Amino acid sequence: MDVKERKPQRIYQAWRGSNTFVFGGRLVFGPDVSPLFFSTFLIVGPAFAFCVKISFIIKHRTNRNETALPWCYVLTVAILLTILDLFFLFLTSSRDPGIIPRNTKPPEYDETFEIDSTPSMEWVNGRTPHLKLPRTKDVFVNGHAVKVKYCDTCLLYRPPRVSHCSICNNCVQRFDHHCPWVGQCIGIRNYRYFYMFITTSTVLCVYVFVVSWINLVQTKGKATRAMSRDILSDFLIVYCFIVVWFIGGLTVFHFYLISTNQTTYENFRYRYDRKSNPYNKGIIENFREVFFSKIPPSMHDFRAFVKEDDIMAIEATDDDVAKGKIDIEMGNKFDDEGDNVLSLPKILRGVEFEGIEDILEHEGGSERADSDRFVVRVEVVANAEEKNAMV
């Protein structure tokens, strides 16, 4: 299509991640919004049943000319907690968690950085020049050296505390984790709301659990008899008892992470077990950073129109992907962060070999011998391809 005939696109329409956009790019969800509806059902269902139960108690006391004002307060608090919980859930799942803009081309190769390579790796690099980029660089944060990793998908060096979510296919600032219950990444722009969501859920569970027990005990002190008749209260007690162990445990765990200024991703990878945490500012400052600091604005205006130069650069990159220069779907392996472990030219994709990952990662000894054998096999295949082309 000619450039003049190209229909203008908004950024959310040309988005290369896996996000789902609603209301013309005003709301940003994860790839699958079904977990959000399921989590909503897990909150609204029991809360609605509890409110119905309290409403019957209020009606029963009113009919008997007994005071029902305390139970009206109980019902009001339950409704407010439920609305607040759903509000934080919506804020967590529907906003940009802190997505880093992608590059349309790899950064320039800096010759001051060196990487180890085997002869086979040099051969591959000759066909795919972008792999000459060093995999990591060192930057200093508060006097501590921190390694930043190159992202093959976003074509950039990730800033400190940025990781690539393989589910949403984006690099996210202060990436904590991808939450399956909200269907969204948890990052610098929605972590505050995520913690308020799980905290409010914990408070709501404890509230329903305690009030349900009080209701049973107040039935003339015969809790056992009341339990055999009040099936709804029995269900709410069991449900809240089970859920509070999970959601409450998660709340306590994240309270610890905030106190030490860690993310779930860093904690699970034992980042600070053997070295000091350069981001830890003390408990008070850590909490102030999460709850009382200004949330940074989104790096994307998803409703803005894509520039023609950006569209052409994206299409050029897609052509390279189709040709195997920056291959995403064929001949490549990716780790859990979306990093390209190995990008092979087309001629190598049909070759069967063993130990290539060890060859690319190590030098010397038997690995060097395996590398030489690999190069010989490549040359044989290459010669066969040339002969077939001549015939």
Catalytic residues: 179
262, with CB counted inside 10 A (0-12, 13-18, 19+), is buried
d(CA 67, CA 88): 34
Residue 141 has what DSSP assignment? E
At 149, give phi and psi (nearest 5°): -110, 145
* Cβ atoms of residues 86 and 44 within 8 Å: yes
d(CA 83, CA 86): 5
The H-assigned helical ranges of the chain are 34-63, 69-93, 119-127, 191-217, 223-229, 231-260, 264-268, 283-291, 308-323, 356-361, 365-390
What end-to-end distance do the CA atoms of the chain give, in Å? Answer: 37
Residue appearing with tokens 């119905």:
52
Q: Are strands 332-334 and 340-343 parallel, antiparallel or unpaired?
A: antiparallel
Residue-wise over 10-36: b if at least 16 C-beta within 10 A, else e? bbbeebebebbbeeebebbbbeebebb
